[in-house]
Chains A and B, each alone.
Chain A
Amino acid sequence: MKKNIFGKSLYTIGLTMICIIMFVPIYYLVVTTFKSPEEAAVSPLGLPKALDFSNYAKALEAMDYLQALKNNLIITVVAVILLVFFATMAAYVIARSQKKIFKVMYSIFLVGLIIPFQIAIVPLYQIISGLNLMDTHLGVILVNVFCINLPLSIFLLRGFISTVPIELEEAAFMDGCGTFKTFWVIIFPLLKPIVSTVIILNTLAIWNDFLTPLLFLQSPEKAVLLQQVYRNVGPFSTDWTSFFPMLVMSTLPLVIFYIFMQKRVIEGVVAGSVKG
């Protein structure tokens, strides 16, 4: 009995410790956004004296927030839709056809799981400028879709499609439904769980991707949120409490997404880890 109480309080202390370690940096980030540098230096962890949003106003303007947010949304949404469109079809063909050529294509796709695309960024830069895609959102989208995130998506989708019974398609085919239509009408709706995993993993990866926009977007009006944050560190080095709202605002959309979809996000991460 005594031992049990001891164990329980030890557990509570442990939980509290974990909470403090995880929470303090985030708390510090948020409270600092309402302070002046002087106030933040004097009481870094105290609650702000007033709920003053002037730092946010300054940050909004300096990082051209609405424009950058729009750029982020365009890149992420279009890239994720294209990924789902192309990867599900490719994975379906690989899962369903016995032909050797598709097996060969699959093993080539899988090379992308092992070799990081980063080794190829110098030639990739050349190819993107050769295709006249430099400094365009389309360039960043295509790199994110075809170069970075395709292999994992195909890998996950193929594993799932192999478990969908083939009889369903055969029945649809009897009814005169073509292969392409059968896929989109009969099979695609059945892929909902794994497609949601693919959407979640890719949304996180593409929203938070910094390297690709850094290399391929130069015009300030095309920049994504993280580029704006990066651009403003120097100019705001003395007014650093006005820099903190930029950190908050560039991640806020995903944090809100996480708060509302928490269960789905965690399920997605777990489903993405299952070996095929």
Chain B
Amino acid sequence: MYNKNRQRVFMLMILPTFIGFFILYIVPTAMSFFYSLTNWSVYNADLQFVGLDNFRMLFEDSKTLAGIKNTIIYALITLVVQNAIAIILAVFLDKKSKSANFVKSLVFLPAVLSILVVGFLFQYIMTSADYGLLNNIIQFFGGDPVNWLGDKDIALYSVIATQVWQWSGWLMVIYIANLKSIDSALYEAADIDGASKMKKFFKITLPLLYPAASFNILLSLINGMKVFDVILAMTQGGPGYATETIMTTLIREGFNSGRNAYASALGVVFFIAVFILSRIVITFLNKWERKLS
């Protein structure tokens, strides 16, 4: 009696949440897969199955392909650079001094700002107009100005730099929490053996940062694949297709051009790309974990 009634209350407690999630997440996700096989667009009232035509079009469209390629480059580079910098910062700032604490909070601060705002700010800092701050500083030290956002070979990396600036602090605080859990006896033993600082870092610290690293690496990968706001603020996908991403293409095709089925197909490709890349990254992480034990 107790149990039966309890299960009924349980069902009432979870069902509204599940229905909400089902309608607003599961259904549209499933619909994306369905629409990717049709010819649905705002110009096309009657829906027909067209098989894999959308995917064929997609892989023949150099602009869309550039978007996919840029997104993967963006995600992998931010993943590596952000985590490397965050680990260095964590080791460097994991001290109980006032100045280290202050620098920690300053490094974290940009993570509170919105990506769009940071994007606009850096668009003005990196602009090649004569008031561009970054070029002014470079010229002050005698260097030549660089066309940070207008040069198609550089633009994507300029955007990446701003996001590394913004998010390294977020990853850093997670690494610092992990550092605190490392047993100090390990370092004492290494000191007795006369190990150098470098050796201690590579033999003790880095391997034992595995828990934080596995979380942070997946987080940077998935967030990197979703990149959108910062592109909209800084380059709008340009120059040419140099900073087009999956999300900018998806929004343009799905909402501005009304090619709904095409955008749905791109959504499916997006899903497959995220899935494959995270599989690869997880395989690497598992190898790392096995090495530890």
Contacts and interface: CB of A to CB of B under 8 A. Distances in A.
Contacts of A179: 5-6, 9-10, 13
Interface stretch (B48-56, B61-69, B110-118, B148-156): B110-118
Given A123-B264, A210-B115, A229-B116, A89 B17 contact: yes
A121 B173 CA distance: 32
Contact of B32 (A123, A208, A226): A123
Interface string B247-283: 1001100110000100110011011001100100000
Contacts of B105: 262
Interface residues of B, number: 87
Given A146-B24, A255-B113, A273-B174, A25 B125 contact: yes
Contacts of B22: 108
A265 interface: yes
B21 A109 contact: yes
B207 interface: no
B177 interface: yes
B14 A120 contact: no
A229 B103 contact: no
Interface stretch (B76-84, B188-196, B223-231): B223-231
Interface stretch (A55-63, A111-119, A159-167, A191-199): A111-119
B229 A118 contact: no
A275 B211 contact: yes
Main secondary structure, interface of A, reads helix
Interface in B105-131: 105-117, 120-122, 124-125, 130-131
Contacts of B198: none
A25 B173 contact: no
A204 interface: yes
Contact of A118 (B2, B35, B125, B247): B247
Contacts of B106: 18-19, 22-23
Given A44-B131, A105-B18, A178-B9, A273 B24 contact: no
Given A86-B17, A105-B18, 10 more contacts: A25-B165, A117-B25, A121-B251, A123-B35, A180-B12, A210-B232, A247-B121, A250-B117, A254-B114, A258-B112
Per CB-CB distance, the 6 closest pairs between chain A and chain B, nearest first, are A119-B267, A120-B28, A123-B31, A208-B114, A146-B20, A123-B28
Interface of A: 11, 14-15, 18-19, 21-23, 25-26, 28-29, 37, 40-41, 44-45, 86-87, 89-90, 92-94, 96-97, 99, 102, 105, 108-109, 111-112, 114-127, 142-143, 145-147, 150-151, 154, 173, 178-180, 183, 204, 207-208, 210-211, 215, 226, 229-230, 233, 240, 243-244, 247, 250-251, 254-255, 257-258, 262, 265-266, 269-270, 273, 275
